[in-house]
Chains A and B, each alone.
Chain A
Amino acid sequence: MADTTEKETPKLLINVEFSDGLETLIKDEVLKKREGRSCAQIKLEETYGGSPATIRHLAEYIRDNCIKSKPELFYDKDGVRPGILVLINNDDWELFEEDGIDKHDYKLENNADVVFISTLHGG
């Protein structure tokens, strides 16, 4: 991940929540319980290789730094694993999928709220 090599650039602070069983994949030291929710604050670089930080960078950061084991349960070869719902600032990220535009390319701003909800666990 590029975050160790680009220490000079300003950071983005992203508020992340893991829900419906996903929190069990996340390292305890990363999680903070808030009103029964499993939250984490994640610092991203503003840019990666010259382009602005996207939800893909966030997901990759989580995969590489926050998952206890089995990162493929969160992020498979193509991106966030199908069956995990993502809300960006309370919007379903599938809204951002347009012809030819991948929802993973959604650009994150400082202080964005991102929720990952698993639908792969039992009801």
Chain B
Amino acid sequence: MPRQCNICQTARAIIRRPKTGQRICKECFFYVFETEIHHTIVDNRLFKPGDRIGIGASGGKDSTVLAYVMKTLNERYNYGLELFLLSVDEGISGYRDDSLETVKRNQQQYDLPLKIVSYEQLYGWSMDSIVETVGRKNNCTFCGVFRRQALDRGALMLDLDHIVTGHNADDIAETILMNILRGDIPRLSRCTEIATMGDGYIGRSKPFKYAYEKEIVMYAYLKRLDYFSTECTYSPNAYRGYARQFLKDLEAVRPSAIIDIIYSGEAMKVAENVKLPTMTSCERCGYISSNSICKACVLLEGLERGVPKMGIAKASSKQIEQDAPEVARRGKAVEPVHFEKLREKALNIRKQRMLNAATSSCSKDTALCECTGDSCQ
């Protein structure tokens, strides 16, 4: 059944676009996919020339395609961006160590500098050691909370302006559903935004917000990109799994379901009488938080004191205190670097860079390796 591409009318169609139902050929698919991302970036003014952009890179398909497309578009349209791969090593053996190998290959393939920050180095706890302590039930909470901060910490170490992540349309639709199902109104109102201010210093955005997972996977497959696809060895997020399957069932019946849910999420407005938390800074680490102590610091304290239920359990704080063992701080007790300090350092790096740019004619960022130290590669 050969059929022609709906766009160029000459080549043979190889994919049906979920968004439009168009049947298009390989070259037209690459072109429209990339061009849509370009429009998303330009229409939403995600970046400005000279911005230093960290691509949150896990080695998985979404972030690998993101790195490839960001590099392609930056060159094609002269965005004038400086791109970096920014990876988080959660310390999950048999999973993240393998996927980080993929990121290291991507670094070579795309010729982009790579920075890896690890939980071990930032918090003194790898996910393997956390799971050893808390078991497999709530470990995803630790991982999620720590990852968000870890990316911001890594970004400050490189003095980045902005982090892009590979969240796609399916992910966002899924998150909207989950937040509705959980009654999480603050997250519901935030999760549809294409760009947020992150920790208040480093912006975050999702250039794939309107890109279907099907197209990202097809793009990676047809371009033969090198990516990693193994499920995390620790318990997968069951709730998200249900939302995902539900969404895929809907998509099978009506492919526009995904974009429609995003549209609904964007259009919803939180009622005026709904109380939203006000944001403040964590007293301990300076990270943005809705409480006086941020979630990461609470979780860390629980780990250190041998009461890992802190911050996750429904148990009363009294019960948690009672359960606390006599010997406090049995963990490795790495005090996470205060965000003010990180910001100060970032500022110094910036000054140094400007100085270097003024005195040297070399356009290559020579300050990078000196300033980031240890694991900058």
One of A90, A97, A123 near B63 (C-beta < 8 A): A123
| Given A19-B229, A120-B244, CB of A95 within 8 Å of CB of B16 | yes
Cross-chain contact B16 with A21 (CB below 8 angstroms): no
With an 8 Å Cβ cutoff, the count of chain B residues facing the other chain is 34
Cross-chain contact B229 with A21 (CB below 8 angstroms): yes
Which residues of B214-243 have CB atoms within 8 Å of chain A's CB atoms?
214, 216-218, 221, 229-232, 236, 241
Cross-chain contact B236 with A122 (CB below 8 angstroms): yes
Cross-chain contact A83 with B15 (CB below 8 angstroms): no
CB distance from A15 to the nearest CB of B (A): 16
Binds A, one of B30-38, B164-172, B288-296, B363-371: B164-172
| Given A82-B252, A83-B248, A94-B16, CB of A121 within 8 Å of CB of B23 | no
Binds A, one of B54-62, B303-311, B318-326: B54-62
B44 touches A (CB below 8 Å) = no
**Which of chain A's residues has its CB closest to B255's CB?**
A94
Bound together, the chains give a CA A97 to CA B62 distance in angstroms of 27
B148 touches A (CB below 8 Å) = no
Bound together, the chains give a CA A87 to CA B231 distance in angstroms of 22
Task: List B contacts of A19 (CB < 8 A).
Answer: 221, 229
A42 touches B (CB below 8 Å) = no
Cross-chain contact B218 with A85 (CB below 8 angstroms): yes
Cross-chain contact A122 with B60 (CB below 8 angstroms): yes
1/0 contact string of A82-96 vs chain B (CB within 8 Å): 110101001110111
**Which of chain B's residues has its CB closest to A94's CB?**
B16
1/0 contact string of A79-123 vs chain B (CB within 8 Å): 001110101001110111100000000000000000101111111
Cross-chain contact B251 with A82 (CB below 8 angstroms): yes
Bound together, the chains give a CA A18 to CA B59 distance in angstroms of 19
Task: List B contacts of A92 (CB < 8 A).
Answer: 14-16, 218
Bound together, the chains give a CA A104 to CA B58 distance in angstroms of 34
A9 touches B (CB below 8 Å) = no
A41 touches B (CB below 8 Å) = no
1/0 contact string of B1-42 vs chain A (CB within 8 Å): 101000000000111100000010000000000000000000
Task: List B contacts of A20 (CB < 8 A).
Answer: 61, 217, 229
Cross-chain contact B171 with A123 (CB below 8 angstroms): yes
B213 touches A (CB below 8 Å) = yes
Task: List A contacts of B283 (CB < 8 A).
Answer: none
Cross-chain contact A83 with B244 (CB below 8 angstroms): yes
Cross-chain contact A119 with B252 (CB below 8 angstroms): no
One of A91, A95, A119 near B248 (C-beta < 8 A): A119
A69 touches B (CB below 8 Å) = no
B245 touches A (CB below 8 Å) = yes
A65 touches B (CB below 8 Å) = no
Task: List B contacts of A96 (CB < 8 A).
Answer: 1
Cross-chain contact B170 with A120 (CB below 8 angstroms): no
Cross-chain contact A21 with B230 (CB below 8 angstroms): yes
Cross-chain contact A123 with B166 (CB below 8 angstroms): yes
One of A24, A95, A119 near B213 (C-beta < 8 A): A119
CB distance from A74 to the nearest CB of B (A): 13
18 contacts between A and B (CB under 8 A): A19-B229, A21-B230, A21-B231, A83-B245, A83-B248, A90-B14, A92-B16, A95-B3, A95-B15, A119-B213, A120-B241, A120-B248, A121-B229, A122-B231, A122-B236, A123-B168, A123-B171, A123-B216
Partner-A contacts on B (CB < 8 A): 1, 3, 13-16, 23, 58, 60-63, 166, 168, 170-171, 213-214, 216-218, 221, 229-232, 236, 241, 244-245, 248-249, 251-252
* Interchain residue pairs A-B with the least CB separation, the first 4: A83-B248, A123-B62, A82-B252, A82-B248
